[in-house]
Structure 1
């Protein structure tokens, strides 16, 4: 027996002996309906990614380890427009994201270097640190200590079916 729930525009299917899946159905001009799938407890708000917003608090390294265990990465905010596609966050909270300092500079968790182009939404002032997103100001800052415990955001590709 399948249990169907409507929740904030999403249809959640709970099937016995399987993990629930979040499904969003939209239309494409060229290909017809597109079905976007995200794992249970992950959210989709447009775009090509699913997001997991933790309720727990952990260090940057523990947060990255959790995301890796879910076949995902800490959120990589390489473009400001990506902020449009993350779920609503607590405005007074800091969230670990996938940016950290290495001997050669700041790198995303996929080992791409942070762009040297000026970005008014990224404010980094210290070396040897990890970055967090402060949603209230929609800016990325760096922490003086990667061992501080914050919630985190994981990101993985959404499964899209036509």
Structure 2
């Protein structure tokens, strides 16, 4: 009996380690892809700026300024994103984003939801959606009402009452319908701690041409 118990534990431990390694590799691959995409974007903009400078004055070429995000932020589709490694309450998360001159992420279309879903890899991250002011009246942190919805198939459920804040990355017991693979939002008590995603506009940096 003791031997069988040991074998089961050993098998579970080995499976867990393999899953953790897979998640780590996926996270690294995603990070590399994001960095390559940013480098590709900057390189393209640089070439366009240089060609413009050759034929125009610098002031006429501002449309080719390079978008730049702070260190540890990710540039995607003209926005900068910060994916935290620490866990905070929803309110504390929003306050931290504010300190970065940002907000918790606002997701208004499937393109952004797909990017978020791919990046967080089924981990839980607060987003900027809440109905704390009025139950079932969901609003984003900028005051706009919820339009595009990516709720998991059994959510929101306000389980136990007081689930007024939303996180992405949820995988629940129900099976999403075909075509709803991006649906991973869940309502949660705002006092719970999760990782979080901040969002802000990138800085615009003028190309420094070589002498």
TM-score normalised to the size of structure 2?
0.56
Q: Which runs of 5+ in 2 are unaligned?
A: 1-31, 53-60, 172-180, 207-211
The verdict on how the C-alpha distance between 1:87 and 1:25 changes in structure 2, with shifts beyond 3 A counting, is: farther
Which residue number corresponds to residue 131 of structure 1? 166
Contact kept in structure 2, 1:89 and 1:135, CA below 8 Å: no
> Equivalences for 1:1-162 in 2 at 5 Å?
8-9=35-36, 24-27=42-45, 33-45=64-76, 47-86=77-116, 88-101=118-131, 102-103=133-134, 105-115=137-147, 119=149, 121-123=150-152, 124-126=156-158, 128-134=163-169, 138-161=182-205
Q: Secondary structure at the match of 1:112?
A: coil
Instruction: Show CA shifts across 1:20-52 (max 9, x none).
Output: xxx934347x9784411111221113x110000
Mark the structure with the bigger radius of gyration. 2
What is the CA distance between 1:145 and its match in structure 2? 1.0
Aligned positions, number: 141
As a proportion of its length, which structure holds more helix?
2
Residue 113 of structure 2 aligns to a residue in which SS? helix
Structure 2 CA distance for aligned equivalents of residues 87 and 140 of structure 1: 8
CA RMSD in angstroms, aligned pairs only: 3.1
Could you tell me how far 1:144 is from its partner in structure 2? 3.2
Any gaps of 5 or more consecutive residues in structure 1?
1-6, 12-22
Offset at residue 88 of structure 1 (A): 4.9
Could you report, residue by residue, the CA deviation over 1:106-157 in whole angstroms, capped at 9, with x for unpaired residues? 1000001112x7x4x2343336510111177533423331111110000000
